[in-house]
């Protein structure tokens, strides 16, 4: 009855082509996402399906259309991060 009806309504808003490759995030949501580390806006990179933080040189993966913004999941995009953390002994 009612649960099936709700499911149908939920699925109607999604137009997902099975052959369209990786699920892309909702563009309207990307505007509101910021890096959890720097709190700066992220750039969506369609080629790699990632959210890029140019400043820190890291990229967050997008899995099934959902950004994985856990710092541990991010990969480095630069060989060396900016000279900010040069306080190592």
Q: What is the largest CA-CA distance in the chain?
A: 66
Report yes or no on 62 lying in a domain. yes
Report yes or no on 11 lying in a domain. no
In this prediction the pTM is 0.62
Report yes or no on 9 lying in a domain. no
Report yes or no on 7 lying in a domain. no
From the number of C-beta atoms within 10 Å of its C-beta (0-12, 13-18, 19+), residue 58 rates as buried
What pLDDT score was predicted for residue 19?
52
Report yes or no on 43 lying in a domain. yes
Domain that holds residue 39: 27-76
Report yes or no on 82 lying in a domain. no
Q: How far apart are the first and last CA of the chain?
A: 66
Give Cα 44 to chain centroid, integer Å.
7
Report yes or no on 86 lying in a domain. no
Domains of the chain: total:
1
Q: CB neighbours (10 Å) of residue 45?
A: 13
pLDDT in tens, 12-51: 454 444 555 667 788 888 888 999 999 999 999 999 999 9
pLDDT in tens, 47-72: 999 999 999 999 999 999 899 999 99
What pLDDT score was predicted for residue 16?
47
Q: CB neighbours (10 Å) of residue 41?
A: 15
CATH of the domain at 58: 2.20.25.10
Nearest one of 79, 40, 76, 82 to 60, comparing CA atoms: 76
Report yes or no on 46 lying in a domain. yes
């Amino acid at each position: 009855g009612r649960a099936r009806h709700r499911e149908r309504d939920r699925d109607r808003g999604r137009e997902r082509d099975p052959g369209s490759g990786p699920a892309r995030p909702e563009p309207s949501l990307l505007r509101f996402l910021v890096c959890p580390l720097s709190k700066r806006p992220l750039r969506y990179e369609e080629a790699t399906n990632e959210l890029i933080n140019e400043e820190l040189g890291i990229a967050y993966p997008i899995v099934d259309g959902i950004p994985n913004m856990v710092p541990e999941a991010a990969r480095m995009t630069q060989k060396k991060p900016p000279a900010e953390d040069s306080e190592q002994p």
